[in-house]
């Protein structure tokens, strides 16, 4: 098994090779504006999971997924030429859900901020239900005795 440092170097090199190749373009009109976000390589350097994002609509995302699946052999050949390893890892492409999750978290934070503002507005005019300080203090115990 390859060490963590070697796996990280191989994964980074695969990401660079694929990014450069996709920047040049493929002859597939379905391919949209793709960004390779991450590559993870197994410990034996046999398989690589490639995570990508696509800027565009759902149809463009689906078209890009189909184009990447169709071009997997070509892209694997490019990776094989660019790596100095005995074996070329198989490539598997996954759409990265990070942008959708980030926008969802941003929306949740916005809602939480609005609710905090509402609570702050209610607390500004609020009064205590009982005494201002409902706790007993030591100096009061001395006066009561």
What digits encode the pLDDT tens for the residues 42-57? 988 899 999 988 887 8
Beta sheet of 47-55, edge-to-edge order: 33-41, 47-55, 90-95
Instruction: Count how many Cα atoms sit within 13 Å of the Cα of residue 88 in the half-sphere of its side chain.
Output: 15
Domains and CATH numbers, the chain: 4-97 (3.30.300.20)
Is the pLDDT assigned to residue 145 strictly greater than 60?
A: no
Of 70-74, 121-125, 137-141, the poorest mean pLDDT is in 137-141
d(CA 43, CA 6): 9
Of 75-89, 111-125, 130-144, the poorest mean pLDDT is in 130-144
- Decide: 46 and 91 in contact? Cβ < 8 Å: no
Q: What is the pLDDT of residue 100?
A: 72
Q: What is the pLDDT of residue 109?
A: 92
For residue 38, the surrounding DSSP H or E stretch is strand 33-41
Per-residue pLDDT tens digits for 24-38: 877 777 777 788 888
Q: What is the pLDDT of residue 144?
A: 56
Q: What is the pLDDT of residue 142?
A: 59
Is the pLDDT assigned to residue 64 strictly greater than 90?
A: no
Q: What is the model's pTM?
A: 0.66
Q: What is the pLDDT of residue 2?
A: 66
């Amino acid at each position: 098994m390859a060490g963590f440092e070697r796996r990280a170097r191989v994964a980074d090199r695969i990401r660079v090779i694929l990014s450069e190749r996709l920047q040049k373009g493929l002859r597939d009109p379905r391919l949209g504006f793709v960004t390779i976000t991450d590559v993870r390589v197994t410990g034996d350097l046999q398989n690589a999971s490639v995570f990508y994002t696509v800027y565009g609509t759902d149809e463009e995302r689906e078209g890009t997924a189909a184009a990447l699946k169709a071009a997997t052999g070509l892209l694997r050949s490019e990776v094989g030429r660019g790596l100095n390893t005995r074996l070329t890892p198989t490539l598997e492409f996954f759409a990265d859900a990070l942008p959708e999750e980030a926008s969802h978290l941003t929306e949740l934070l916005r809602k939480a901020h609005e609710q905090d503002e509402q609570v702050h507005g209610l607390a500004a005019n609020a009064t205590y239900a009982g005494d201002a300080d409902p706790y007993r203090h030591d100096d009061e115990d001395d006066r009561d005795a």
